[in-house]
């Protein structure tokens, strides 16, 4: 039997998963990518193999009963039926928050799960959904090893000054500090930088993870030294539906003057703001680009997104004391040449010289000249989880923790 890993990224109504052959070579080998959408509404499953061919495309009725547990059991059964000869040896989970304790991937035990549940107040919209599959697998397959990989972990080694808010010290002691997110993406990019240019791995690099969620991270010699997201995944850049950095006074205004309850205010900041809120049209960059020429509100949303990236970039360049390279990644960063061009033109002050032709064709290098370079590098958070899961499995159970991812 060929041993395989299941990598899971669970959201409120979706379940993304990938299957990797464990392998004894350098990297786990991806064999399937799957997505369950519309859980508890109109569940739909699509699975593709490594050639991109769809190997499963199913609906699961819309009576609202089919939830995460059914989806996970279906995936497990599908793997047994369709992957004859493959044995599931472990599950790696993307977990948004590791708090102050978990600075590296960890094998899940009852104690670990309890500790991760205590972090729910720090990420109430994501952590509960990330943890649910762990509980389900523990109940259904108690002997199956599970590994938690954290979006916060990569930032754990940042200098303390980068992690502080100017709040009373006791709040920081209580966990109110900058954690940063998208760490699995940044860890992956840091791991492949040498393959693009060995000098980058030793240099001052800003990575722009621009997807539905968006943040920037400053890397010095491959280590995170500052990032735009803070205590929650709401901070920093405007995103698809999230507002990004906000004057805290606006929250009091929403509560006192607008008479919004905390849940309503939270919903507005997380789900009705960002590109969607400003444009009133869509959270999807492709849609906004399509209509921007005739819809000033779409244009304004894009302009604000690019402007904020430029401002935050300047702040990270200051934190790094200069910049050698800017990396674009995730859905917008990898695919939207117009956003890359606008950001780089705005950053001409730092010496970036856009190479239009290279940018239009997707790079990987999209600048020319003697100044800092800019690159398009596709991210791969799932591979990072598969690597980490394999590494944790191969550790003796009692061994001391390894350095953070």
Residue ranges that bind ligand ADP, judged by CB under 6 A: 211-213, 240, 284-286, 330-332, 335-336
**Cα separation, 134 vs 138, whole angstroms:** 6
For residues 17 and 86, which CB has a smaller minimum distance to ligand ADP in the complex? Answer: 17
Query: Would you say 269 and 242 are in contact if contact means Cβ atoms under 8 Å apart?
Result: yes
> How far from 191 is each of 97, 294, 381, 394, CA to CA, in Å?
21, 42, 11, 20
For residues 76 and 184, which CB has a smaller minimum distance to ligand ADP in the complex? Answer: 184
Torsion sign over Cα 385, 386, 389, 390: negative
Q: Binding-site residues for substrate, please?
A: 94
Give, as one character, the DSSP assignment of residue 403.
P
Shortest reach from residue 134's CB to ligand ADP, in Å = 21
Query: Would you say 372 and 326 are in contact if contact means Cβ atoms under 8 Å apart?
Result: yes
For residues 43 and 211, which CB has a smaller minimum distance to ligand ADP in the complex? Answer: 211
**Cα separation, 374 vs 225, whole angstroms:** 19
**For residue 399, with 0-12 CB atoms within 10 Å meaning exposed, 13-18 middle and 19 or more buried, which class applies?**
exposed
Shortest reach from residue 73's CB to ligand ADP, in Å = 25
For residues 203 and 331, which CB has a smaller minimum distance to ligand ADP in the complex? Answer: 331
For residues 17 and 137, which CB has a smaller minimum distance to ligand ADP in the complex? Answer: 17
Give which of 310, 320, 321, 318 is closest to 348, Cα–Cα: 310
Shortest reach from residue 358's CB to ligand ADP, in Å = 17
Structure tokens at 122: 């720090």
Shortest reach from residue 379's CB to ligand ADP, in Å = 8
Structure tokens at 92: 């790696």
Who contacts 229 (Cβ-Cβ below 8 Å, separation ≥6)?
Answer: 178, 179, 180, 181, 182, 215, 235, 236
What angle, rounded to 10 degrees, do the helices at 296-320 and 337-346 form?
50
Of 59, 143, 151, 297, the active-site residue reads 151
**Strand-pair partners of 21:** 4, 29
For residues 92 and 211, which CB has a smaller minimum distance to ligand ADP in the complex? Answer: 211
Structure tokens at 397: 């159970």
Helix residue spans in 91-224 (DSSP H): 110-117, 127-140, 160-163, 169-173, 183-196, 198-201
For residues 284 and 295, which CB has a smaller minimum distance to ligand ADP in the complex? Answer: 284
Shortest reach from residue 16's CB to ligand ADP, in Å = 9
Cis peptide preceding 364, ω within 30 of 0: yes
Question: Is 151 one of the catalytic residues?
Answer: yes
- List the beta strands (DSSP E) in 222-293: 223-227
Give, as one character, the DSSP assignment of residue 174.
T
3-state SS assignment for residue 39? coil
Who contacts 192 (Cβ-Cβ below 8 Å, separation ≥6)?
Answer: 377
Q: Binding-site residues for ATP, please?
A: 16, 209-213, 284-286, 331-335
Shortest reach from residue 330's CB to ligand ADP, in Å = 4
**Cα separation, 11 vs 57, whole angstroms:** 20
Torsion sign over Cα 257, 260, 261, 266: negative
Which residue's C-beta sits nearest to ligand ADP?
331
Shortest reach from residue 347's CB to ligand ADP, in Å = 20
Residues labelled catalytic: 151
């Amino acid at each position: 039997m060929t041993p395989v890993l299941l990598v899971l990224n669970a959201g409120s109504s979706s379940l993304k998963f990938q299957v990797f052959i464990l392998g004894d070579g350098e990297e786990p080998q991806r064999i399937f990518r799957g997505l369950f959408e519309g859980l508890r509404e109109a569940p739909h499953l699509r699975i593709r193999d490594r050639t991109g061919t769809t190997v499963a495309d199913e609906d699961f009725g819309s009576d609202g009963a089919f939830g995460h547990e059914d989806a996970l059991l279906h995936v497990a059964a599908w793997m047994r039926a369709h992957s004859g000869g493959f044995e599931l040896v472990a599950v790696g989970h993307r977990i948004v928050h590791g708090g102050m304790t978990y600075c590296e991937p960890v094998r899940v035990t009852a104690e670990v799960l309890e500790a991760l549940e205590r972090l729910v107040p720090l990420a109430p919209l994501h952590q509960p959904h990330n943890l649910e599959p762990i509980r389900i697998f523990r109940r259904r397959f108690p002997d199956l090893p599970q590994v938690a990989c954290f979006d916060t972990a990569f930032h754990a080694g940042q200098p303390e000054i980068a992690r502080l808010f100017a709040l009373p010290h006791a709040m920081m002691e209580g966990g109110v500090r900058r954690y940063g997110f998208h760490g699995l993406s940044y860890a992956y990019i840091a791991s492949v930088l040498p393959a693009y240019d060995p000098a980058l791995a030793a240099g001052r690099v800003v990575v722009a993870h621009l997807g539905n969620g968006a943040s920037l991270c400053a890397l010095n010699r491959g280590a995170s030294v500052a990032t735009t997201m803070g205590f929650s995944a709401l901070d920093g850049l405007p995103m698809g539906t999230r507002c990004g950095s906000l004057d805290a006074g606006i929250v009091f205004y929403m509560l006192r003057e607008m008479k919004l309850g905390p849940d309503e205010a939270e919903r507005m900041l997380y789900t009705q703001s960002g590109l969607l809120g400003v444009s009133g049209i869509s959270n999807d960059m492709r849609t906004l680009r399509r209509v921007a020429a005739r819809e000033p509100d779409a244009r304004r949303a894009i302009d604000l997104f690019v402007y904020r990236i430029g401002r935050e970039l300047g702040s990270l360049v200051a934190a790094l004391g200069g910049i050698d390279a800017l990396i674009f990644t995730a859905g917008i960063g990898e695919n939207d040449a117009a956003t890359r061009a606008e950001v780089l033109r705005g950053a001409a002050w730092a010496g970036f010289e856009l190479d239009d032709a290279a940018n239009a064709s997707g790079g990987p290098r999209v600048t020319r000249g003697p100044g800092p370079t800019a690159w398009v590098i596709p991210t791969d958070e799932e591979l990072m989880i598969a690597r980490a899961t394999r590494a944790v499995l191969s550790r003796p159970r009692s061994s001391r923790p390894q350095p953070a991812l």
